[in-house]
Amino acid sequence: MTTSRRKILAGLGAAPLFGAAVAWAEGSSKRGLPFFGRDPLGPRERIQKYGLPNVELLTHTGQTVRFYDDLIKDKKVVVNFIYATCNGICVPVTSRLVEVQKMLDGRVGRDIFFYSISLKPEEDTPEVLRRYAEAHRVGPGWLFLTGKPENIETLRRGLGFVDLDPVKDADTTNHVGMVRYGIEAEMRWGSCPGLSRPDHILRSILWDLEPPIVRKDS
């Protein structure tokens, strides 16, 4: 039962990544570019290429980083999207993740990494995001990220933070309040509602990042 639940959660979490990759590939095929199904790359490299693009970002501490190479590759990660002037779900979700960070007792920044990506990069400069992090008493190991609007949009779609309704999807005030987590090296991804109780978010994260060993009856 537990194994099935983990597989279902992982499958739901990975679906948007694969969906984004397939959509990109189909569009590329129509434009005369090679479809990734015939790409010689392995599964992990395909997801990196089409779902986890290596775009350039800026951290709230002013550093320039590459999304895949510096933040995702070979790491256990927790990712969500926010913006600093949000009057909706951003603050409650951030507050819940702050509690989750405390529950992880020093692991964030050591073997689990938190990333919050701005949906309004034109407004959310590194300094604005730094003040946001300080206001919410965010601990070490959690980066707030901004960058060029086109890079942010590529990430948002690649990570599956989209609404099927194009009108709602275009409205940044109506963004998806999900938290995505995964282990890039194992291609294991999951997600949960960001407004869940902190203990539920923690259990969801650890269930996929550190699944329990299910022993067969002897």
Query: Which pLDDT score, from 0 to 100, does residue 187 have?
Result: 86
Domain-embedded: residue 215: no
- Check if the beta carbon of residue 73 is closer than 8 Å to that of residue 90: no
Q: For residues 159 and 179, give the distance between their C-alpha atoms in angstroms, rounded to a whole number.
A: 11
Q: What is the pLDDT of residue 36?
A: 43
In a domain, 216, yes or no: no
| CATH for 189 | 3.40.30.10
Which domain range does residue 150 map to?
2-209
**Residue at 188 is within a domain:** yes
**CA–CA dist 102, 14 (Å, integer):** 27
Assigned domain for 214 exists: no
pLDDT of residue 208: 85
The answer as to whether 115 is a domain residue is yes
pTM over 0.85: no
Looking at the domain assignment, is residue 218 inside a domain?
no
74 by DSSP, 3-state: which?
A: coil
Domain assignment present for 131: yes
User: pLDDT tens, position by position, for the chain (218 residues)?
Assistant: 333 333 333 344 444 454 444 343 334 333 333 444 456 777 777 777 767 889 999 999 999 999 999 999 999 999 999 999 988 899 999 999 999 999 999 999 999 999 999 999 999 999 999 999 999 999 999 999 999 999 999 999 888 888 888 888 887 666 668 999 999 988 889 999 999 999 999 999 999 888 765 545 54
The number of folded domains in the chain is 1
> What pLDDT sits at residue 214?
52
For residue 139, tell me if it sits in a domain: yes
